[in-house]
Structure 1
Amino acid sequence: MRTGYTLNGRYRIIRSLGEGGMANVYLAHDLILDRDVSVKLLRLDLRDDPGTVRRFQREALAATELVNDNIVQVYDVGEENGMQYLVMEYVEGTDLKAYIKKHFPIAYQEVIQIMEQILNAVKTAHEHNIIHRDLKPQNILIDENRVAKITDFGIAVALSEHSLTQTNTVLGSVHYLSPEQARGGMATKQSDIYSLGIILYELLTGTVPFEGETAVSIALKHFQSEIPSVRDIDPRIPQALENVVLKATSKRPADRYTDVASMADDLATSLSPKRAGELRFRPAENDDGETKVLPASALSAAAVPHAIAKPTGEETAEAATKDATAANDQSTGKKKRKKYRHPRRRKFLIAGGIIFLIILGIFIGMALFRPQMTNVPNVVGDKETAARSALVSAKLKVGTVHKTSSATVKIHRVARTEPRSGTQLKQNTVVDLWISTGPKRYKVDDYQGDSYASTAAKLEALGFAVHRESVHSTSVPAGKIMQQSVLAGKSVVPSKTDITFTVSTGSETVTLADLTNKTKRQAQSYATNHNLNLAFQYAYSSDVDKGCIIRQSPGEGAVVQEGDEITLAVSRGSQSESSSSVDEFSVNVKIPFDSGSTDDESEGDDESSSSASSSSSDSNLVQIYLKDQDHSLSSIYKQMTITADTTVTLPFAVASGKSGAYKVVRDGHVVASDNHVSKN
């Protein structure tokens, strides 16, 4: 489909979004409703295949029945020039597979939030008796607000449509395939639950449980091999959370959750402290009727009665021959029997003795040359010297000594051995030691300016106790971190560290009072109390006394933010009171910002660094004084806060031939002044 083509006179193709085995997906614009949509178009090489067309139409039917915030909505279904197409909601974001790759490791709470959305969508599908059959991260979209949406019901099937099930045909992606589907059986709701368990496994570990060179080898692992433990990959994962994975991915559908709602309820409480001591989930033992391999002894025992019951023709003939020989021997005399049977018996005895001696020699040789075995002693928790002595006493050699962090084993003590304790080894085998360096330490970053929500979630997942203090700020956006209690660059043990963030709530709002007829000093006092900046203009007025406010902008009752500027017009009195001509002009003055940085100071200990950090400022208080016909240097003309270098325009009104003056004070220090300001 080329860019710019308008499908059905309504959907203009913008660009390709991706290609699949059954259809291609394009970004398009709905010219009628003026919105972006996704258009799924059946591939040209498949449009004459009745099975593919039926699957495509089934997706349309399945998706239009489902209305859920976590399912991609289908807007329109149609056909043009023999091309089947679906028009769906456009989700701006990425699929869950790419999201895991980009954001792993993902905080456990976020994993649960994503899974709860997916479970909510699958629950809606199951309530409509629709099984997805191809649940995988590639079919789950994550938008910019981290909302998960399931798409691609291309192989979904209603439970009543048994005729659509293909015998000996496996549909779906093999990495997320349930054991019953891998065997070619019919998919059920428990098959979707198995796929959901694999998705949860991937969210927690960043990888799928089974890999292989071919799809067949992966499918075999799904119904032959146990799911690897997620706690072996990440020991911090609570047992209750791993149990959700284990129960959802049980080999027998009967051992899985009865429905998606049960899985969602179990997942919601998996991080609860009440489930901290939960035991590992183990499915009930049950003979499922599969083919078993019998031992050779059983086969032999079964074969004997069969041979007795039905002798072959050869065996019958042999028996008859033996009977005839026996009759002949009896008719010959006793001497003849003694003459010919005695040597045979002696040969048998000699042969038996030789065989006995050979077997006896073999046993003696095995006893003499069999390697001496020993068990690896349990030295976990012992000091290195004690562990070495224990290994030597067990007739083992000490191999490489490694260092590893451990939250449970004290520093300088053995955290583990390889091979593990209790393993039976040949004597003089090498055993490696891992010595604890104590709990794993984490280097704290500088989080100032970062979002509190994402930062807190990340640190809590690492084990930090995170606290929040909220303050108003005119210079820092709401939700951003202004200060942190633990200095950046410091290495700490997360489980033993509390960190407090000072977080901006943004500027506080102010409802303006009526300042008209107030004196300039009263207006300045009001502005100081409410953290507002004032700008003055001057005009002649016969109705308002000189030095009082004529009007204000914004007006009374307006809602403004702290730090906003309010413009006040001040009366000069009636024009007749001015006996001489007045020169009016403006002067631009640049006010430098002082960040209070201490980079040039020598390094000190943590305490001195903390005090230096607290002295830095993110804003300056500036007071401007003017001297002209309307102002005196003894009173403030304008007060403001700045967060960067700022240029202000100062208006002057002086009698002809006279000069004015100004003075700029920043945080109590004069930073600019001029006592001879004139028009020329």
Structure 2
Amino acid sequence: MADIDPTTSDLKLKLVRARGLAMATRTGTLDLNATQPGLVNAASTPAANPSVPARIGRFVIQGEIGRGAMGAVYLAHDPNRVTPVALKTLALSREFNGPELADARSRFFREAEMAGRLHHPNIVQIFDSGELDGLAYIAMEWVRGEDLSTYATPSKLLPVPLLLRVACRVAEALAYAHSKGVTHRDVKPANIMVDLTNDVVKVMDFGVARITDSTRTRTGVVLGTPSFMSPEQLAGQRVDGRTDLYALGVSLFQLLTGQLPFHHASMAALMRAIANEPAPDVRSLRPDLPEALANVVALALEKHPDVRYADGTLMAADLRAVGASLRIPVDNRAHPPLSASQATGAQAASGFGPLSSAGAIDADTPVSQKSQS
């Protein structure tokens, strides 16, 4: 009846939304009772929050799961798919006017198309893109889990062997994207999703940094996230995949220590430091780390791109070699997921402390003391 009677359009919408939730629950992709980050809470649904649209194009909105400077991210049902999708929106018409809007729109669809060509197990898949009433959107694979920024604080650092496995897969994902002519431009822990229980690692937001290039340049704000940017990116020079590997080096430094290699109160001081000051040795903050790992981080953080890793596969190979020295495999393609007991044993054998009950190292206590307790 809802399909043929226009007076029951609201009923039809509710049925479609309910059908999407039911299908997601049945296929195990959506746990309505879960409380982990990234799931919809009651206050962010269209019924409870008037600012959340009921639908965008063919996508039926279940609720808001995130919000950024230029738009929101929604969990949505796509009638063409069994599982839910993440729908990222960008309010182009709010940020641009006239010729700039036309340029931003063209850039958006070009970047979305390029990112949509990436098919890699460690890259979030983009399914579709479009624009409706000035609101641009990208429909992408919805990933259960959390981003790596969760583990970028001193009290929640991941065990080193586990971090190496994640970083190795990110480096290989970047190498694949670079081989397809796609540069990320905003690699950072917040753009790397992980589901450690199920051994899932996904790099997300390919192309989004470049989509917002025009407005940020116009307003004088440096494109990307400054603390993770290479010297050439800060200088506004042409960038390539080596810029992404620099950002991965900054991410590794932060995920190993809970601190950024360069942190200053002002943007000007930060930019000067990134351009001119040598990056600190990661062992100045974590003396327990092996020299080989410190060398990987240092090479990724070289000022000149010609001195850095030329390719993500080379960086992944070095990370894998460090993992081998810790007596635990880093390449997940040949080995099963890393369990807590494996990580504990590997760290004990190599001088690293055991996992805490939360699955992370308590960095406030020296790791060498933990292995003796």
TM-score normalized with structure 1 length: 0.39
Map 1:586-665 → 2, pairs under 5 A: none
Counterpart AA for 1:145: N
Task: Look up the match of 1:12.
Answer: 60
Of 168, 173, 192, which residue of structure 1 is paired with 2:244? 192
C-alpha contact (below 8 Å) 1:463/1:495 kept by paired residues: no
Map 1:111-190 → 2, pairs under 5 A: 111-143=163-195, 145-155=198-208, 170-190=222-242
Counterpart AA for 2:339: A
Q: Structure 2: any 5+ residue segments left out of the alignment?
A: 1-49, 328-337, 353-367
SS across alignment from 1:18? strand
Task: Look up the match of 2:162.
Answer: 110
- Shift in Å at residue 222 of structure 1? 0.5
Task: Look up the match of 2:28.
Answer: none
Structure number with higher relative contact order (C-alpha < 8 Å, ≥ 6 residues apart): 2
Distance 1:209 1:36 in 2: 38
- Shift in Å at residue 203 of structure 1? 1.6
Of 20, 24, 28, which residue of structure 1 is paired with 2:76? 28
- Determine whether 1:453 maps to 2:339: yes
C-alpha contact (below 8 Å) 2:283/2:289 kept by paired residues: yes
Map 1:299-448 → 2, pairs under 5 A: none
C-alpha contact (below 8 Å) 1:25/1:39 kept by paired residues: yes
- Determine whether 1:45 maps to 2:94: yes
Residues 480-522 of structure 1 deviation map (CA, whole Å, 9 limit, x = unaligned): xxxxxxxxxxxx977679xxxxxxxxxxxxxxxxxxxxxxxxx
Map 1:517-536 → 2, pairs under 5 A: none
- Determine whether 1:263 maps to 2:312: no
C-alpha contact (below 8 Å) 1:42/1:56 kept by paired residues: no
Residues 206-264 of structure 1 deviation map (CA, whole Å, 9 limit, x = unaligned): 22111111222212110111111111111110000000000111111111112111111
Of 237, 248, 260, which residue of structure 2 is paired with 1:208? 260
SS across alignment from 1:35? coil
Residues 596-648 of structure 1 deviation map (CA, whole Å, 9 limit, x = unaligned): xxxxxxxxxxxxxxxxxxxxxxxxxxxxxxxxxxxxxxxxxxxxxxxxxxxxx
C-alpha contact (below 8 Å) 1:139/1:151 kept by paired residues: yes
Residues 563-594 of structure 1 deviation map (CA, whole Å, 9 limit, x = unaligned): xxxxxxxxxxxxxxxxxxxxxxxxxxxxxxxx
Aligned residues: 289
C-alpha contact (below 8 Å) 2:90/2:137 kept by paired residues: yes
Map 1:15-94 → 2, pairs under 5 A: 15-43=63-91, 45-46=94-95, 48=97, 49-94=101-146
Distance 1:201 1:271 in 2: 16
Distance 1:251 1:36 in 2: 42
Counterpart AA for 2:184: H
Distance 2:351 2:315 in 1: 29
C-alpha contact (below 8 Å) 1:75/1:89 kept by paired residues: yes
Distance 2:276 2:81 in 1: 52
Higher-Rg member (1/2):
1
Name whichever structure is richer in strand by fraction: 1
Distance 1:90 1:247 in 2: 34
Residues 328-381 of structure 1 deviation map (CA, whole Å, 9 limit, x = unaligned): xxxxxxxxxxxxxxxxxxxxxxxxxxxxxxxxxxxxxxxxxxxxxxxxxxxxxx
In structure 2, relative to structure 1, the CA distance for the partners of 1:86 and 1:263 (3 Å cut) is same
Distance 1:3 1:85 in 2: 14
SS across alignment from 2:339? helix
Task: Look up the match of 2:269.
Answer: 217
Name whichever structure is richer in helix by fraction: 2
Map 1:220-239 → 2, pairs under 5 A: 220-239=272-291
In structure 2, relative to structure 1, the CA distance for the partners of 1:32 and 1:201 (3 Å cut) is same
C-alpha contact (below 8 Å) 1:117/1:147 kept by paired residues: no
C-alpha contact (below 8 Å) 1:95/1:142 kept by paired residues: yes
Distance 1:73 1:135 in 2: 16
- Shift in Å at residue 19 of structure 1? 2.0
Counterpart AA for 1:267: L
In structure 2, relative to structure 1, the CA distance for the partners of 1:102 and 1:256 (3 Å cut) is closer
In structure 2, relative to structure 1, the CA distance for the partners of 1:494 and 1:150 (3 Å cut) is closer
- Shift in Å at residue 21 of structure 1? 2.8
Task: Look up the match of 1:251.
Answer: 303
SS across alignment from 2:114? helix
Counterpart AA for 1:457: A
Task: Look up the match of 2:148.
Answer: 96
Distance 1:153 1:200 in 2: 19
